Structure 1
Amino acid sequence: MATTTRERLISLLSDTNEYKSGQKLSEVLGCSRTAVWKHIEELRKEGYIVEAVQKKGYRITTRPNNLIPGEIKHQLDTKKLGHEIHYEESVASTQEIAHQHALKGAPEGSIVIADEQTSGRGRLGRAWHSPKRSGVWMSVILRPNIPPQKAPQLTLLAAVSVVQGIEEVTGVDAQIKWPNDILIDGKKVVGILTELQAEADRVNSVIIGIGINVNTPIEAFPDDIATIATSLKIASGKEVERAYLVRAILEKMEKLYHLYLDHGFAPIKLLWEGSAASLGKRVRVRTITGELYGNAQGITEEGVLLVEDDEGTIHRVYSADIDIPRES
């Protein structure tokens, strides 16, 4: 994994049990002690608390809750995902930037991540509230050798990855609402948007956008979504380290992605159904042609939702909004 001098310095100073002398850092990083000092000052400006003790050296004692590449790559255990990171403080949409990088040949596993989106979007062009420094707004570029019609399966794979990452980092139980939402206690905490760059018979790239309300306080949600949205901090009662969450999700996603490429969708389908919020429940299905009420029975090998109506007819739902009425 290619790393910058700043990223290597963060890694070297992250062992809080050991100080690193300026001379040692200079030798390992291949730069002057003055350059080392300048890098440390820049880290302090970014919110790191770097302790300096005479005759011992430096160490990081407190890390900021940010999403700079050095924080994400620190202890990241993947072969591809997250090795190339394009970070911005504020963007219109990480999806738009990811599309541009994908067209220019960005390697598989590249991610675009931002501290704020000013024009974040979800399915059907809906706006996605993406306030500064409170969430994770990222897009992952994959280049699977699959036919275009199978690309929706990767939305479900990404959803399982996010649920597993959330559970590892926070211990909170999250559930998936078909096709692309993740809920905690019935409220939306994550949205996933999958888009293609493809030809008639082959996929050039799949771009998976993931928006997570991480540390968003309840008062920060607009009035129109305040009753249906939540964040990991609200659910867990504690602030969540965003870079740790991103690492966990990328690691889970890479493992599931290789499982998918090697064994197909069947193992992903089982994992998805194990975290599904709607299976066995009565749902309202809203499509461009009308509404359908019935019981969600499961998904097909293609990721299509199966809903049985009150007459016993099974409907295959390819694209729709799903509502799960709250139990009284």
Structure 2
Amino acid sequence: MTRSLPQSLALQRQLIQQLSDGRIYSGELLAEQAGISRAAIARHISQLQSYGVDIYSIKGKGYKLSAPLQLLDAAKIRHYQTAGMAEVLLQHVTDSTNSQLMRRLQDGQQLSKGSVLVAEAQTTGRGRRGNSWFSPFGANLYFSMYWQLEQGIQGAMGLSLVIGLAVAEVLEQQYLLPVRLKWPNDIYLADKKLAGILIELAGQSHAQCDLVIGLGLNLHMPRQADQQISQAWTDLQQHVAQPIDRNQLIALLQQRIVLHLRSFEASGFQTFSAAFNQRDQFLGKMVCLSSGDKQFCGLSLGVDSQGGLLLEQADGAQSFYGGELSLRELARG
């Protein structure tokens, strides 16, 4: 379902739809179709560029996207959804899909388990540990799902690994890619970060709690991405020959994540540990875990039955659990 947009966002959406085929359109034609001045068109184009839309202004000719763009489409997503899946809500531009779902919960809105909110762009996308998430318009997937966990917050241990596994399985099956997982919340391809997961919880430790499960997945990053991202990254389109259908991918991810969440509720993480370890980016490698000014270095033995990272040090093996821990491979040499 889509909600009515403020006039400025509706006009920007109209402009993007017009330009999405990758052809050149004159400012005069765009202004005539929108019923506004050419100067107003220029202002809206500038605003779209600030969202990360790669639009060229060609002197004497008009405006053109650097490449054709597939927009999110509620009807197409519904076409790809399987029976029984909850609704997918679409946003044009939002601050953060996770924040949007959290506000709906705080406002007392009733959401169905498995409901998803996606956006074309985020203005303040968030990653784990307070990091920002680069979220240009139409380039990637900004996806948040609502779930209710009967076991409470304590029952969520290992959940980010389960979500990562669901995403990896979809990408493996749909695109035949050797996806890897990095504890506790990253998805890797060709030794570079492809996606990140952010799970936010609201509730009590031993009572029913609400979850918002956020996924940021790089699909087709713009050229300026290197200026915005400090770590090695990749996107899906670099590894896939055919164009990526974002609307289909949203439906596939929703279905697989819901399937894994139901299994997780019934059996906990232990049924997923072997599948995670098969895809573990750092299994058998020397790594360092950081927490503030503390560091723990050793040999990564994968994850245990509760989703903790098993690290072999001089005094034996020890499991570490999420929180504010950051994992890096130990530099060689």
Distance 1:203 1:275 in 2: 31
Is the 2:90–2:119 contact (alpha carbons within 8 Å) kept by the matching residues of 1?
yes
Q: Deviations over 1:74-105 (max 9, x none)?
A: 1211523xx22221111111111111223322
Is the 1:164–1:249 contact (alpha carbons within 8 Å) kept by the matching residues of 2?
no
Change (3 A) 1:242 1:278: same
Structure 1 portions without partners, runs of 5+: 5-40, 49-62
Is the 1:168–1:248 contact (alpha carbons within 8 Å) kept by the matching residues of 2?
no
Q: Deviations over 1:173-229 (max 9, x none)?
A: 111000000011111110000010112421321110000001114x23133636601
Matching residue's letter, 2:256: K
Residue 326 (structure 1) shift: 7.1
Residue 237 (structure 1) shift: 4.4
Identity across matched positions, percent: 23
Matching residue's letter, 1:203: Q
SS, match of residue 126 in structure 2: coil
Matching residue's letter, 1:91: T
2:117 is equivalent to residue 109 of structure 1: no
2:264 is equivalent to residue 271 of structure 1: no
2:257 is equivalent to residue 253 of structure 1: yes
Is the 2:69–2:138 contact (alpha carbons within 8 Å) kept by the matching residues of 1?
no
Q: 1:161 maps to what in 2? A: 166
Structure 2 portions without partners, runs of 5+: 3-13, 22-67
Q: Deviations over 1:241-281 (max 9, x none)?
A: 11122122112112222222233322222222222111221
Residue 47 (structure 1) shift: 6.1
Distance 1:108 1:137 in 2: 18
Q: 2:321 maps to what in 1? A: 318
**TM-score (norm. length: structure 2):** 0.74
Q: 1:209 maps to what in 2? A: 214
Instruction: Between 151-160 and 126-135, report the one with greater CA deviation.
Output: 151-160
Distance 1:152 1:242 in 2: 30
Match of 1:292 among 284, 291, 296: 296
Would you say how many aligned residue pairs link Structure 1 and Structure 2? 271
Distance 1:200 1:259 in 2: 20
Is the 1:281–1:295 contact (alpha carbons within 8 Å) kept by the matching residues of 2?
yes
Is the 1:177–1:276 contact (alpha carbons within 8 Å) kept by the matching residues of 2?
yes
Instruction: Between 295-304 and 176-185, report the one with greater CA deviation.
Output: 295-304
Matching residue's letter, 1:258: R
SS, match of residue 146 in structure 1: coil
Runs of 4+ with >3 A deviation: 44-48, 325-328
SS, match of residue 71 in structure 1: helix
SS, match of residue 298 in structure 2: strand
Match of 2:232 among 224, 228, 234: 228
Is the 1:297–1:306 contact (alpha carbons within 8 Å) kept by the matching residues of 2?
yes
Is the 2:153–2:209 contact (alpha carbons within 8 Å) kept by the matching residues of 1?
no
Matching residue's letter, 1:101: R
Residue 295 (structure 1) shift: 0.8
Residue 142 (structure 1) shift: 0.5
Q: 1:151 maps to what in 2? A: 156
Is the 2:153–2:205 contact (alpha carbons within 8 Å) kept by the matching residues of 1?
yes
